[in-house]
Amino acid sequence: MKTPSSLEDLIAALRCLPGVGPKSAQRMAYHLLQRDRTGAMHLAHALGHAVESVKHCSKCNNFSEQDICSMCSSAQREGDLLCVVEMPADLLMMEQAQCYRGMYFVLMGRLSPLDGVGARELPLERLVKRAQELECEVILATNFTVEGEATAHYLATLLSAQGIKVSRIARGLPVGGELEHVDSGTLAQAVFERREIAV
């Protein structure tokens, strides 16, 4: 039995999605063709439109339809802090926390030699240029994973060499966290990085 070639093409094309293997791709293709052809056409158009119109902001490197994104051109944001995050999702979380009114720089990745992402694959020159332009403190808010930590370390060295003040967001127990339920690595770090209480 031969699978129709356009169906085979669709299954192969769905493999470009992250985390989608041959079985999931087949299931997705069957689902779309059997139950949601409208959704499939809508997805096709959304893909085409996004690829055409989404670029990177020339200042913060985040996804943007304009050359400079709405956040970088906003008069509401303060230019005395520059926060470096890995992905746009991290920026959204920062904004939801409502704790920060400064500027951002989105790396769109992290140092990850195993995935072929070295220092050259990240827009580090543009980050240094932006930090020099703002003449401000840079807050490193990459993840506390092995790769995020390595990226933070690399950036700290790079930026300090240019005489730029660099800081790292704090590590420790989460707000509302209980010692009984926290992992031992986090607890050890929280003890190690304890803060003196000034009464």
> Which is closer to its own copies, CB of 34 or CB of 184?
34
- Least distance to its own copies from the beta carbon of 8, Å? 9
When asked if residue 26 is in the footprint of its own copies (CB under 8 A), the reply is: yes
Task: Show contacts with its own copies in window 56-75 (CB under 8 A).
Answer: 62-65, 69-71
Is 85 an interacting residue with respect to its own copies (CB under 8 A)?
A: no
**What is Dmax (Cα atoms) for the chain?**
79
Q: Are 25 and 11 in contact (CB under 8 A)?
A: yes
Beta-bridge partners for 167: 139
Q: CB under 8 A: which stretch of 5-13, 125-133, 137-145, 166-174 binds its own copies?
A: 5-13
Nearer to its own copies, 70 or 167 (CB): 70
Strands (E), 102-156: 103-106, 137-140
Told to check if 109 binds its own copies by CB under 8 A, we report yes
Tell me the pairing of strands 55-56 and 63-64. Answer: antiparallel
Strand partners, 48: none
Q: Is 118 in the site for its own copies (CB under 8 A)?
A: no
- C-alpha span between 110 and 116 (Å, rounded): 10
Tell me how far apart the terminal alpha carbons of the chain are, to the nearest angstrom: 79
Report the interface residues with its own copies, using CB under 8 A: 1-7, 9-10, 12-14, 16-19, 24, 26-34, 36-37, 39-54, 62-65, 69-71, 87-89, 91-92, 95, 108-109
